[in-house]
Structure formats: structure tokens, C-alpha cells
Amino acid sequence: MVSHSGLITVMERAARKAAPRLRRDFGEVQHLQVSRKGPADFVSMADKRAEQTLYEELSAARPDWAFVMEERGAVAGDPSKPRFVIDPLDGTSNFLHGIPHFAISIAAEEPKPGGRWEPMAALIYQPLTDESFWAEKGRGAWLQDQRLRVSARGDLADALIATGIPFLGHGDFAQWSRIFGAVAPSVAGIRRFGSAALDLAWVAAGRFDGFWESGLSHWDVAAGLLLVKEAGGYVSDYRGGDKMIDRREVLAANDGLHTKLHKLVAGALR
């Protein structure tokens, strides 16, 4: 059985501590108190409670680490120490509509020269299926104790690609339409399931062959990017560079398929 570091143990313990309340709230979704924080962007009390639990558990284990969180924002820590990047409920709209596809996403990032941060550990936990996707830099990606590898498919005609579709108040409809128009005729299928974290975890697991989406926040993808890399995949922005967080766009697949998808995406954006 594979062994993981104490850091992954801490991250998984925190996720499993937050998960039971999420499961209970999901079972009574019609009773949740929901506040509106932007056009079609809802935040449930379940979301806030999960984030608080994660913060309490992780800060107790690593008291001098900083945090970047979806709801609370940034919490300062020792600048020489790593930080946690947390999305307590990725797939909030699914959750609020009773669709059982959402996850807790936690990444740990270490500081690098020039103010950069580099992912060192990642955990994406699906509370309803009890699937724990995790990765550590240089140690591979795993689902529980099963090693993950990205899909080996090399032909676009065989590939199932995931994406995120712009919606009210979010995203660039014209850009997405151009990319969709370039990619869709070349692939076996396109799916939009509503959780970027799980989309990337499923790319790492070989369930999806590739993924593209823009308008993403740091906490949406920090853990998933490391999972794909450690599963042998390739991640980039739409231009083929490494500015995924800055440009809020991600293109992910195995190396050969990524080259072909990038060619289509780059062509659509010219």
C-alpha cells in the first residue's frame, strides 16, 4: 500500500472532517440558506461552514502557514512557509440544484524566488463517492492507493474532452464559442459537468482525455493542475505557456493530445 506524507494526511483529515456536514446539507438542499454574491453566483451556508472547518483543521496543524480561500480570501502567514489554497465546495451550483457532482479542493504551495508559488501537494475529495484524489510533487498522483495515469489516447477522434461553459455574468461567450467550434468537430465528445476541480482530477485518472476552461480562479484549479502533472499529463494556458493562474485559463491532456488540442485552441483565438 502506498504511503503519503504527513501533509497529505493533514489535508485529507481536514477534508473528511468537513465532508459529513456537506453530505447532510446536500441531503436537505431545499432547506439551505443561500445568499447571492454576484450574478448567478450563489454561496450556501454549507460552503461557508465547510471552509471554516477546513481552515480550523489546517491552521491547527500548520499554524504559521498562510491561506488563500474562496470565501474568506487571504489570511497571512509566515512568508517563508508554504500556504494552503482552498475551495471548500467546487461545484456549488450543482450542490444547490441537487446534482451529486462537487468536491473539496485543497492545494499546498511553497514559496519560490520572485514571489512565485509552486504546488507541492494536492487533494480533491468527493464527499458523496468517497473518492480521494491526491498528489505530491515528484511522487505521482493517486486515487486512494491506486496510481493514476492520464489517458494514453493520442487521436482526437477517440478523445472525450471536458470543458466549462460561460454563463450569466461569467466568462467570454465569443471566445468559448470559437474554441468549441474548433474542438467539437474533431473529438468523440465534449462534457460539461460543473466542477473544474473534478474535471482535472478525472483527466489525471484517465476518465477524461482533456480539458479546457477559462475564467477560472486560483482555488478552482490549484490542486487539479498538480494532479494532472503528477499523473503524467501536460497543463498550460491557451498559448502553451505556464500562466494558467494569471490568465485564468487551463488546457490539460496527455502530452501528445495536448499538442493537438493546443493547435486547435490557438487557431481559434487568432
Higher-confidence residue of 205 and 170: namely 205
pLDDT at 41: 58
Q: What is the pLDDT of residues 191-215, one digit of tens each?
A: 999 999 999 999 999 999 999 999 9
The yes-or-no verdict on residue 179 having pLDDT over 60 is: yes
Decide: 32 and 45 in contact? Cβ < 8 Å: yes
Strands 234-236 and 249-253: antiparallel
Q: What is the pLDDT of residues 260-270, one digit of tens each?
A: 999 999 999 98
User: Could you tell me the three cell numbers for 84?
Assistant: 494552503
Question: Taking all residues of the chain, what is their mean pLDDT, rounded to a whole number?
Answer: 93
Q: What is the pLDDT of residues 92-116, one digit of tens each?
A: 989 988 899 999 999 999 999 988 9
Residue 121: left (phi > 0), alpha (psi -120 to 50), or beta?
Answer: beta
The yes-or-no verdict on residue 89 having pLDDT over 80 is: yes
Contacts 24+ apart (CB under 8 A), 155-160: 156/186, 156/187, 156/257, 156/260, 156/261, 156/264, 157/186, 157/187, 157/188, 158/188, 158/209, 159/187, 159/188, 159/209, 159/210, 159/253, 159/257, 160/187, 160/188, 160/189, 160/190, 160/191, 160/208, 160/209
Helix axes 218-230, 196-204, angle to 10 degrees: 0
- Rounded Cα–Cα distance for residues 67 and 54 (Å): 11
Strands 66-69 and 83-90: parallel
Q: Which residues of 198-236 are buried (b: 16+ CB within 10 A; e: fewer)?
A: bbbbbbbbbbbbbbbbbbbebbbbbbbbbbbbbbbbbbb
The yes-or-no verdict on residue 31 having pLDDT over 60 is: yes
The yes-or-no verdict on residue 53 having pLDDT over 70 is: yes
Domains annotated for the chain, with CATH where assigned, are 6-147 (3.30.540.10), 156-268 (3.40.190.80)
pLDDT-based confidence at residue 44 (cuts at 50, 70, 90): confident
The yes-or-no verdict on residue 131 having pLDDT over 70 is: yes
- Rounded Cα–Cα distance for residues 204 and 17 (Å): 25
pLDDT at 36: 66
Q: How many alpha carbons lie under 13 Å from residue 66 in its C-beta half-sphere?
A: 16
- Rounded Cα–Cα distance for residues 54 and 66 (Å): 13
